[in-house]
Amino acid sequence: MNPGSVLSALPGAASVSGLASAWRWSPNPMFTFTAALSTDGRHNLQVNVRGPYDEGLVTALLAHARAHDGTFVEQGRPLVAVGGFQHDGTAFDTVGVAAPEVHGYHATENPELSAVTYAVFPAYASEISGRENEEEAWGRFRKMLQPNKLDRTEVPFVKMRYDNTRTQSMSKGDARGFAPLDTLVRELGLLDGAPGSFVEWENRHGAVWRADSNSDGLELAHDGTRETVDTGQLQATARTSVQ
């Protein structure tokens, strides 16, 4: 498999200025795809963009990914965060990389190319733990992170479970599942006045917090400590804990 030969022969493929062994093509007005070879020349690093396209940002993403591709190419990790990224005019501080089993790029039209392709996308440090299993990585990449949007907002890594005796709302099972930060903040706001209720959450580092509602008010437990708090403190802690 020679990914360079395949990519350069795609309809409309044109070389990318300022980035060697890289090509850009647009299958329709909505999408723009840009690919660059890895340092070993045997893998494809690809950014897919839906909507507004920023050539400088995409080129910078691919250059950063290529410079650090030893951290993810054939390393067996489905989702990786490559830190240290900076680009003027954007708040992204990380390059996200998804493995072939997660992204599905080229899977239908060219499975052989798909198998050596890594999806590269703009990300934030708060979003990826690097410990995601394949199922978790698939869900994050395809359902939550919107990796093909260059103007997307931050989606912090949050896993939670909860049970509210007053609203009768609860998560399913005993395991913590991924949720938007807004959902966590909302459920924490509903704890007060609902004795017997709880909210438990985890950040990308694996640190866990638990808030319980009882007859004396709200109690927050973390790292072996417990303290009495109010709703505002709980919600503020939730926001800072996932950064």
pLDDT level of residue 54 (50, 70, 90 thresholds): very high
User: How far apart are alpha carbons 192 and 187 in whole angstroms?
Assistant: 10
User: Do 171 and 236 lie in a common domain?
Assistant: yes
Q: Does position 230 have pLDDT exceeding 90, yes or no?
A: yes
pLDDT level of residue 139 (50, 70, 90 thresholds): very high
Identify whether 151 is part of a domain.
no
How many structural domains compose the chain?
A: 2
* pTM for the whole structure: 0.94
Q: What pLDDT sits at residue 180?
A: 97
Identify whether 221 is part of a domain.
yes
User: Do 33 and 111 lie in a common domain?
Assistant: yes
User: Do 21 and 106 lie in a common domain?
Assistant: yes
pLDDT level of residue 1 (50, 70, 90 thresholds): confident
At 54, list the tokens.
Answer: 């920023």
Identify whether 39 is part of a domain.
yes
Identify whether 43 is part of a domain.
yes
User: Do 48 and 92 lie in a common domain?
Assistant: yes
Residue-averaged pLDDT of the chain: 96
Q: What is the mean pLDDT of residues 184-188?
A: 98
As beta bridge partners, residue 211 has 199, 220
User: How far apart are alpha carbons 168 and 164 in whole angstroms?
Assistant: 5
Share of the chain above pLDDT 70, in %: 100
User: Do 74 and 118 lie in a common domain?
Assistant: yes
User: Do 119 and 172 lie in a common domain?
Assistant: no
pLDDT level of residue 182 (50, 70, 90 thresholds): very high
Domain final position from 111, 144, 177: 144
Domain that holds residue 237: 159-241
Identify whether 232 is part of a domain.
yes
Domain final position from 100, 118, 144: 144
User: Do 136 and 49 lie in a common domain?
Assistant: yes
Share of the chain above pLDDT 90, in %: 96
